[in-house]
Chains A and B, each alone.
Chain A
Amino acid sequence: MTKFIDLTLSGISDGAIYAAVALALVLIWRATRIVNFAQGAMLMITTFIAYAVIGAGASYVVGFLAALLSGLALGAVTERVLIRRVEHAPPLNAVIVTLGLYTVLVAVAGMIWGNTPKSFPAAFSLRGYTVGGTTLLFTPNDTFIVLVVIAVALGLAAMFRFTSLGLQMRAAAFAPEVARLLGVRVGRMFTVGWALAAVAGAIAGVLVAPSVFLGPNSFDPILIGGFVAAVLGGLDSPPGAVIGGLLLGLALSYVSGYEGSALVPLAALAILVLVLMIRPSGLFSAAQERRV
């Protein structure tokens, strides 16, 4: 029973990470109808930048901020330089370009920092809470992760709902032509969408790095998890992405706890295929199902 509670709690904190990555993917999907397969590599690079900043003697907070700023820049530059040129090409081209970016970023990280995973400092203690004599696997750092991701999700929701920028982004995503006629700078909104997504990813990267270690490929499973979570949520619904992330985090935590962590990506694949077979538009999507 203790194990079950432990797994549930760690599933919630894993799920928060998946939710953050899923949010990043959903932001980009909504803006440009592209799945950003480079997301995992982008958050890997920003986390390495935080690692370098912290390694140079700066505090954790400065490192965190460095990751956020570099994410902002990386996302915006990627959209302006690469993605804008394939937005109107067949969808396959955009998929291949993001995979190419993924490949380049992994290679660059390997060149600079080597392929051996490095340990990354945590914001808070990694010693579990003690409840009635038993030590839980849930740590103060996990609390931090969950709270930060909730803040990110609420912040994004508030931005989309209550600010002029959010309204313009929604308009640009759902009716680009009309939005353009009404004076919304649609291209700039896409850039903002990518930049915000990269920031959400950067946050996830810094949060998860202490538990997965930091290497060029260590975030591949996180990307898979984020992708599956986003698809669970319908790929264009931010609340769906958060719920999808939490559900997936729980499911994968049980798989990992009872069957071993080697099976986690394959279990994610199984969940993905099952969901797409049963409800191709995701569990929470309001969008109309694609008919063939």
Chain B
Amino acid sequence: MSAPAIPRAVRERTLLRSLSLVIVGGLLIALITGALSSYRNLQLAYGGYYFAALAGLTVLAGLSGQISLGHGALMAVGAYTSGLLIGNEGWALVPALVAAAGVSAIIGIPLGLAASRLRGPYLAGATLAFAVGLPALADKFPSTFGGENGLTINPSMPPSWLGSNFALERWEAWIACACALIVLFVLYNLVHSGVGRSLRAVRDDEIAASLCGLHVGRNQTVAFVVSAACAGLGGGVFTVVNQLAAPGSFQVQLSLYLLAGVVIGGLGSLVGAIWGAALLVFLPNWTTDLANSFSLSTNVSHNLPLAIYGVVLIAAMLLWPSGIQGGFRSLGSWLWHRRGRRSRSPGAPADRPSAAS
């Protein structure tokens, strides 16, 4: 049986709300990037592709309660796809990025089929194997994937109608943010669709959900494939922004970074993915500054971000499982209750990943 039908008015409201969100966001970004320095624009571009991957990962965790450690590797699939298509085949930007998302989605199908049958630790283990194994393929087929050095492409120049003074970094920020907004739009609608609802039902009580006639496996596969496509799009943008796709960028650590970003933002929260992306962009800079000001050795400074991500993962799970966005949410509800002078105490941060907001 298919996902439950949602009243048309609700469906249209969701669509309208997300569309207006995307349009407002796009306009804001278009304006803000004009005021930012080229370095900040580049950071915004990094944030854009991280957001795409994080949003896919967090929605997967929030909706189906599953953790994928393969999203770093799925980013690599997207990155190499767009690198090969733009660099070798001379494709234009947009079709190459679409292809990056598409190829990652196709790779995501067998993983998603496995995901629909695997629970928590099994899926994490299977996707961990994927993350460890995939970067080695670049060495296995050096003539195609460029071995350790990876693939380099020429920067994609801003179109001429933007004027000759339009900075490359600003254009890259536009590309990355446009992709991030598309991801936001798709995932927001997925979360509030029938598929999203049935996934949440499956997550909370699998047996009850299947007794209600929900097709558990199919919905979970769909969620995984969409999530994989988002990561692939993020990876495609990665190549465009950095002009490089190399195995060193997509080691298993990347998947752990992504997991840390999702957890600190709040598992399952799309807004939390923005916090996570900010963390992934700024933390390496902060730790480099920290290492410089304390003149730490290179061994220490190279591994400092990794250590911080690990501590963040543990501390967040032990102390604050709902992440930053969960914190804001309970703060908001506390303020709301205070204003209404209600005696009910604010809800404690939820233990389990909550539904995407």
Contact = CB atoms under 8 A, between A and B. Distances in A.
Interface in B303-326: 303-304, 306-307, 309-314, 316-318, 321
Nearest to A116: B299
Interface-central residue, A89, A93, A263, by most chain B CB under 10 Å = A93
B307 A104 contact: yes
B314 A101 contact: yes
Contacts of B125: 35, 37, 224, 227-228, 231, 272
A263 B136 contact: yes
A102 interface: yes
A273 B110 contact: yes
A268 to B, nearest CB: 5
B351 A265 contact: no
Interface string B118-149: 11111011101110111011011000000000
B208 to A, nearest CB: 11
A111 B307 contact: yes
Nearest to A110: B303
B114 interface: yes
A91 interface: yes
Contacts of A96: 67, 259, 263, 313, 316-317
A95 B252 contact: no
B128 A92 contact: no
A181 interface: no
B124 A89 contact: no
B104 to A, nearest CB: 16
Contacts of B175: none
Nearest to B126: A272
Contact of A103 (B126, B132, B139, B313): B313
A100 interface: yes
B210 interface: yes
Interface residues of B, number: 59
B128 A224 contact: yes
Interface in B247-306: 251-253, 256, 259-260, 263, 267, 299-300, 302-304, 306
A104 B314 CA distance: 9
Interface string A101-129: 11111111011111100000000000000
Given A231-B122, A231-B125, A280-B117, A99 B136 contact: no
Interface residues of A, number: 54
A20 to B, nearest CB: 17
B216 interface: yes
Contact of B303 (A107, A223, A265): A107
Contacts of B310: 100-107
Contact of A90 (B65, B134, B306): B65
Nearest to A265: B133
Interface in A183-213: none
Interface in A226-265: 227-228, 231, 260, 262-265
B259 A277 contact: no
A290 to B, nearest CB: 7
A28 B294 CA distance: 40
A85 interface: yes
Contact of A266 (B134, B259, B299): B134
Nearest to B65: A92
A145 to B, nearest CB: 22
Contacts of B67: 92, 95-96
Interface string B152-170: 0000000000000000000
A221 interface: yes
Nearest to B125: A227
A266 B129 contact: yes
B206 A107 contact: no
A258 to B, nearest CB: 13
Contacts of B304: 107, 111
Given A96-B313, A111-B300, A224 B306 contact: no
A103 B124 contact: no
Interface in B181-217: 206-207, 210, 216-217
Contact of B259 (A99, A104, A110, A111): A99
B212 to A, nearest CB: 13
A266 B133 contact: yes
A269 interface: yes
Nearest to A263: B140
B206 A292 contact: yes
Contacts of A17: none
Given A100-B311, A104-B307, A266-B134, A92 B139 contact: no
Nearest to B141: A262
A146 interface: no
A269 B126 contact: yes
A53 interface: no
17 contacts: A91-B121, A97-B313, A99-B256, A100-B309, A100-B311, A100-B314, A107-B303, A110-B302, A110-B306, A111-B299, A113-B299, A115-B302, A115-B303, A224-B125, A260-B140, A277-B113, A292-B216
Interface of A: 34-35, 37, 82, 85-86, 89-93, 95-97, 99-108, 110-115, 216-217, 220-221, 223-224, 227-228, 231, 260, 262-266, 268-269, 272-273, 276-277, 280, 290, 292
Q: Which 3 residue pairs spanning A and B have beta carbons closest together?
A: A100-B313, A265-B133, A103-B310
Given A92-B67, A96-B317, 13 more contacts: A37-B125, A99-B256, A99-B313, A100-B317, A103-B253, A103-B313, A107-B310, A111-B304, A217-B252, A272-B129, A273-B110, A276-B118, A277-B113
Interface of B: 61, 65, 67, 69, 110, 113-114, 117-122, 124-126, 128-130, 132-134, 136-137, 139-140, 206-207, 210, 216-217, 251-253, 256, 259-260, 263, 267, 299-300, 302-304, 306-307, 309-314, 316-318, 321, 351-353
